[in-house]
Amino acid sequence: MNNDNQGKGGPPFNFGGPNGPKLPDPKKWSGWKFSLVYILILIVGMSLFNYVFMSKVNPVIDYSEFKQRIAAGEIKRVELDEAYFIGYVDKVPTKPQIKAPILFGLSAPEPAAATTVYRTVPINDSALVALMDEHGVDYYAVSREGSAILNFIFTWVLPIAFFIFIWRILMRRMGNFGGNVLSFGQNRSAIVAEGDVKTRFSDVAGADEAKDELIEVVDFLKTPKKYTDIGGRIPKGVLLVGPPGTGKTLLARAVAGEAGVAFFRMSGADFVEMFVGVGAARVRDLFKQARAKASGSKGCIVFIDELDAIGKSRLNNIGGGNDEREQTLNQLLVEMDGFDATGGLIVLAATNRPDVLDPALLRPGRFDRQVLVDKPDLKGREEILKIHSKDVKLSPAVDLAAVARSTSGFVGADLANIVNEAALLAVRGGRMTVEQQDFSEAIEKTVAGLQKKNRVIKPEERRIVAFHETGHALVAALTPNSDPVQKISIIPRGFGALGYTLQMPIEDRYLMTEDELKGKIDVLLGGRAAEEIVFGKISTGAANDLAKATDIARKMIVDYGMSERFRHVALTRRGLGMLGDSAPQEPMFQREYSDATQQYIDETIAGIVEAQYGKVKSTLLARQSLLNQVAGILLDKETIDEKEFKSLVAGDVYSGAAA
């Protein structure tokens, strides 16, 4: 709901000024609905207990048996009630008694004088009175004041109240906003008033190019006249594209914060419900409120996160159909055509899957500007670390530039997590400031997983792991242009990793040559080659290494055109699944070649891997003494850092690598 007093320091509603009528404070009565529910549950529980208890103590008998017991003289007194005829075996004064009713119209228990009681369902039988007179049975009727009211409450009021209560719960479960059955079409956007967004461009790092693109949007929202005077037109929609965690949502908030305008934030999944038409109604309501907000102030931003949830291409919908997602997308397209950007309303959206979006969304006039928010480079990572660590007590010896060099490929969310993990590790270690070692451990924890020092490994398996990891490290040190080895460890980490060799690039790489790809295969095969050299047999520990090596070899042939027969030819093309939503969500490769070509690909992959494996094995055989030495130290210390590893292999390996 549009409220002009939001964000201006005044109360959200004003009825008649300070002397006018006041609405009751909703917080004062907020607990009553829960109290009423508890009271209803208590009443029903007591009633059921009373009913079960009375049924066990005084069972109901047949009406004919009841008359037989009167004729036999066993029943001496009969209480006539509208619910039951109750017979007692003991005589008491025949004066009618007035009893207070209890739940469900059952009478209060009799005094201790009544020992045996028989109950039966009342029947309109005039012969019963004559039978009781004939055998001298005392009988009387019981007056139950208020039973009619109780019957009305339990027959009508409680069932209706229970039905309404269940209905409200179901409506909320099915996505209703506010519990009102008529409010399905209301949007669920989080509305932030002008000036309440505290994020600024200074809070965003590692995305300088994206910020430069969005500064123009901020300038238009602040001073639209200088654009309209010259005849310029700002884009209606700006689509932020990039991998998860790169700061797309943060950039959208920074735009709103810099411009000082209202900010509507909503996820694409919030539009889609189980009822057809609800998403389209929410889109209409969202833009209606946004237009009203933009016309009454200096601008408005609508931010739709995860746009691909409603913006998937309609071309993949083989069956056609008019489902909920398609109706929502159609309404969004119509709404984006129905407003003029000069009114101060701008739509921002974010997605990490632009390839699945409908082409109609990306045409000029809708999301006609795409801003790439890519992974940060070395300088960007250092700036991000400075932003996230400004409130963290760092040791003067901490080098954030070194941390940035060790985190190639990390996004902003990863770096924020590393800073937080380092702070937690410092507290766990009893330190008052965060040290460099805390950052190193946080990086290893993020890359390889949590240490499992308590896992018991058999000595023979421990030796296999040590030589396996040493093989990786030695081949990496021998391979030109390979990432340097930062640490070797046989301490188990993560899910099933018995050891690891940590390599961190010293610079960002965007291209790789054929020789460098084969070098990566060499490093991956170094572990298995070391096992076969030392133990004469191989183990399952290289399963993940083989999968990665095979994948690199396949890409060399299929994607990069690095095979002899299909040199410079890409055998596949990227495309979306042809089965719509039932297909895998990630882009898949479509095969466009024959079975003979597939056979060639399989044989060539096996040939590349086998050739590189023979090369690696020969290299390690020539340096088996060094392999034994490094593996022995690793078995004793469990961990070898970069400095110690370089000192161990400097004379032999690095001279050979340079050659």
What positions carry a catalytic annotation?
469
Residues with Cβ < 8 Å from 566, sequence gap 6 or more?
Answer: 557, 597
Structure tokens at 264: 């509507």
∠ CA(128), CA(130), CA(133), 5° rounding?
A: 110
Beta-bridged to residue 98, according to DSSP, are 143
Tally: H helices and E strands in the chain: 22, 15
Residues with Cβ < 8 Å from 172, sequence gap 6 or more?
Answer: 179
Q: Are 415 and 388 in contact (CB under 8 A)?
A: yes
Sign of CA dihedral 166, 172, 177, 178: positive
Beta-bridged to residue 501, according to DSSP, are 488
Cα separation of 355 and 575, whole Å? 9
Q: Which of 518, 538, 531 is nearest to 472 (CA)?
A: 531
Residues with Cβ < 8 Å from 260, sequence gap 6 or more?
Answer: 194, 195, 222, 298
Q: Are 502 and 493 in contact (CB under 8 A)?
A: no
Q: Are 545 and 527 in contact (CB under 8 A)?
A: yes
The DSSP string of 153-205 is: IIIIIHHHHHHHHHHHHHHHHTT-STT-TT-TTS---EEE-TT-----GGG--
Cα separation of 213 and 200, whole Å? 15
3-state secondary structure 354-380: HHHECHHHHCCCCCCEEEECCCCCHHH
Cα separation of 330 and 156, whole Å? 46
Q: Which amino acid is at 233?
A: R
Q: Are 649 and 477 in contact (CB under 8 A)?
A: yes
The DSSP string of 112-162 is: TT---EEEE-----HHHHHHHHHTT-EEEE-B-TTHHHHHHIIIIIHHHHH
Helix ranges, 356-481 (H): 359-362, 378-388, 400-405, 412-428, 436-448, 459-478
Q: Which amino acid is at 60?
A: V
Cα separation of 423 and 438, whole Å? 7
Cα separation of 237 and 307, whole Å? 12
Our CA dihedral for 509, 514, 515, 519, rounded to 10 degrees, sits at 70
Cα separation of 75 and 581, whole Å? 76
Cα separation of 152 and 158, whole Å? 9
Q: Which of 511, 513, 518, 538 is nearest to 527 (CA)?
A: 538
Q: Between 158-173 and 32-57, two packed helices, what is the crossing angle to 10 degrees?
A: 130
Which strands make up the sheet holding 639-641, listed edge to edge? 500-503, 485-489, 639-641
Q: Which amino acid is at 95?
A: K
Q: Are 324 and 279 in contact (CB under 8 A)?
A: yes
